[in-house]
Structure 1
Amino acid sequence: MRRVVSVALWAVVVSGVLAYATSLVVPLWFQMQGERLLVVTSGSMAPRFVEGDVVVLRAVTDASELKPGLIVTFQPVGGTSLVTHRIVSLHSLPAMREADDGSGRMVPVLDAAGEPVEQPYIRTQGDANPEPDPDATPVERVRGVLLRVHHGWGDTLVWATSPVGRAVMLVPPLLALATLEVLSVLDARRRRTRSARRPADADRRVDALLLD
């Protein structure tokens, strides 16, 4: 029984450590390839990919890489979340910035001569959306181009990187290691007790022989 318990506890330790290591190694492996994983949170690109899928992106190094038909991830002007949509057209428009008066309105960027500075923009649209996105996006806000899709990876990836997922992967192995240590201490104590009893038992047997 002691051996069965030890094997079961070591199985918990090994499985937990392997799961945790995998959750770290998989994103790191993609980063080493110059790629990035992004979990899809909407269905605007169905059926190409849907909520819960994971898209693999590569960074854009030059605006010339962008062409109509490519699927890109970008941060919309004035937004904080990332959007992954298809490029429908390319444009050269005046660069915009927020006004200095704190109103949040956008005003053109001017050069030294007071002329508007032209900047490349993309127009995008989700495959499942009937209309293009309302605003054009500066090329500099593009975060990556779609390489491939892993369907259904999203829930697992989000769970594995969450505090709950980390706890599920790490707490049982730690408890199993603690239990193994306690069992080891108890075994050592039991062996010492047996060793201490053996000389006394031997002395009693010798005394019994002498008396006989």
Structure 2
Amino acid sequence: MGLKAFLHDLYTTRWLVLVSTLLFCISIVVGWLSTGAIQSMLAQQIEGLGGVAQRLQQSDHPQWSFFVFIFFNNAIKCVLVIFVGALFGIVPFIFLIVNGMVLGFVVHLQTDMGRSMYEVVVKGLLPHGVIELPVLIIACAFGLKFGIKVMSTIGSSMGLKRKGNGQTWEIFMKQTLTVSIWSVILLLIAAAIESGVTYRLLSH
């Protein structure tokens, strides 16, 4: 469960982390260039988040409200996306694509509204994003791994692949537990930064 185990688990899943990173980056570009139906879908996502942000801003303790919402929203989603990946990796794939597109769309929208790229990216995204985005990518990578593991097991039971190949379920479940715990810890730090540092930077 320690940091060394977490880093080892990342290393053993490095190719899926790389694939997830590439998918996320491509999705950001798609979100930036989006038009028509895709743009409308992303705009609805942003509108929903904007409504939540407005309610949190009007609370008695805005920064604390933002912290609680950001942490639980991100932590629950990232842990769920790992385990729901058992459904053949469909959910983590969609989650990765949608979040990348939303990010690309938001950055583009903010720059179109007159904000500088420095303000949007350096002040609004990097302080917490340097932790939050890698965690999102790692969670999706393990969700995809879960889906691949399930498909491999089904294939083995049908005689399409020799049993005993690859990682055992016991080792894999220990990995998912370790990654889940460290994801929550890192997202706690990211939420503190976003509700503290990022909040103050964008308020000035």
Fold similarity call, TM over 0.5: no
Structure richer in helix, relative to its length: 2
User: Structure 1 or 2: larger strand share?
Assistant: 1
Structure with the greater alpha carbon radius of gyration: 1
TM score, norm. by length of structure 1: 0.28
